[in-house]
Structure 1
Amino acid sequence: MEKSEQGQEQPTGIPIIAGAEAPAPKEEIKEVPKEVKKDEGVSTHIFALRTTANREDQVLDFIGSNIKKKKLPVYSVIRPHGMRGYIFVESLDRQSAEQAAFNVPYARGILPKEIQYVEIEHMLEQVKREVDIRKSDIVEIISGPFKRENAKVTRIDRTKEEVVVELLGAAVPIPITVKMDAVKVIRRESEGPAPDSLAGGEDGEV
């Protein structure tokens, strides 16, 4: 497919921004306006719309207005938990998604590749679980542009459900802020592999 209007190249895997500063809210799903109805049996498509980080809510509102005004076959606009700088648009086709985002402030273009539902299904489920992450833990980043990279935890903010990590092996250590559910503990200092889920806190938390 063609590149987005901003010339962004297709990233590998699910397009998720992991390093933004502000916390992401729980997923927000805006239903299609009453004027646009989804016929049974209609095949829909999901596209990722890139936005200015921390402006996702405004983009959702503007797109909702566009859908209603233009009566576009766009059936949902989704901001999943743990994502920054992107939202998902479910529509009849790519053209409809692009029309919904046309001239919308803070919208930076639809990514070329269509998103499969199975790729984002886990992000649409609100699953609460206890996650034991401690300062100096070695973790694997499991989503975002640094997916599959190993990193060391340098700071924890449980209020925002975020951790600050530094990639292992990087020539210049650069702090990266990610959501707690975007990392998996694989090793703890002076210990073997850490369990997936434990309870408790540790120094270095906020």
Structure 2
Amino acid sequence: MIFVLKVTTNKEEKVVDLIAEHVMKKTIPVYAIAHPEGLRGYIILEAQDRDSAEDACFNLPYVKGIIGKTISYEEIKNMLEVNVETVNIEEGDIVEILSDTLKKEKAKVTRIDRQKGEVVVNLLGAVVQIPVTIKMEDVKVIRRSSEAGDDDDEEMEE
């Protein structure tokens, strides 16, 4: 059975740790504890029955209570499963950085780590080429490597 616990906002991770510790100590039949991204003030707990769920969070700080109705896995599946986005960034593409201190800088992609969601880029305007690791969502493709001629790349690097 899957239950939703109401907890103090921004203390969700702390509560997950407290519940996990409490469950291990007392060997309560709790199968999973999750705090999905974007679900502030709530924790999802899978336990054998309602009594087990209540025992797991009884008298713990930051826990306000259990929401009365149990939920099915189908209702929370989209929050728990990781969606791997297909990003159309390739090595050699020219990108624009969208955030942080390098905002609006142009760079060339040298390496892609799809599992971490990161790209390693070299800034085009820099005198010394230093590889910078940036999240994929923080870059926008300006020109594809197939569109960019080799002459253009050499001119930009000089």
Output the TM-score relative to the length of structure 2: 0.53
Root-mean-square deviation (Å) = 2.5
Q: C-alpha separation between the residues in 2 aligned to 1:82 and 1:90? A: 19
Q: Which has the larger radius of gyration?
A: 2
AA matched with 2:69: K
The match for 2:23 among 67, 79, 97 is 67
SS of structure 2 residue aligned to 1:82: coil
- 1:129: how far off? 3.9
Tell me which protein shows more strand as a share of its residues: 2
CA distances 1:108-133 after superposition (whole Å, capped 9, x unpaired): 10000001110001111111448xxx
1:117 corresponds in structure 2 to: 73
Name the structure 2 match of 1:93.
49
* Identical-pair percentage: 46
**CA–CA distance in structure 1, aligned partners of residues 39 and 79 of structure 2:** 9
Report the structure, 1 or 2, having the larger helix content.
2
Q: Deviations over 1:25-45 (max 9, x none)?
A: xxxxxxxxxxxxxxxxxxxx0
Q: Distance in 1 between matches of 2:29 and 2:81?
A: 25
CA distance in 1, matches of 2:68, 2:18: 21
Query: Who is 2:128 aligned against?
Result: none
Quote the residue 2:145 is aligned against: none
Question: What is the number of residues matched between the two proteins?
Answer: 93
d(CA) in 2 for partners of 1:123, 1:68:
25
1:54, distance to aligned residue in structure 2 (A):
0.5
**Corresponding residue of 2:64:** 108
**Partner letter of residue 67 of structure 2?**
L
| Secondary structure of the structure 2 residue equivalent to 1:76 | strand
Matched, 1:77 2:33: yes
Paired residue type of 1:122: N
Q: Which runs of 5+ in 1 are unaligned?
A: 1-44, 131-157, 160-198, 201-206
Q: Name the counterpart of 2:83.
A: 127
| Segments of 4+ moved more than 4 angstroms | none
Letter in 1 for 2:78: H
Question: Which residue in the other structure is 1:56 paired with?
Answer: 12
Name 2:103's counterpart in structure 1. Answer: none
Distance 1:69 1:109 in 2: 21
Describe how 1:1-206 pairs up with structure 2 within 5 A.
Answer: 45-129=1-85
Give, in whole Å, the separation in 1 of the partners of 2:79 and 2:23: 24
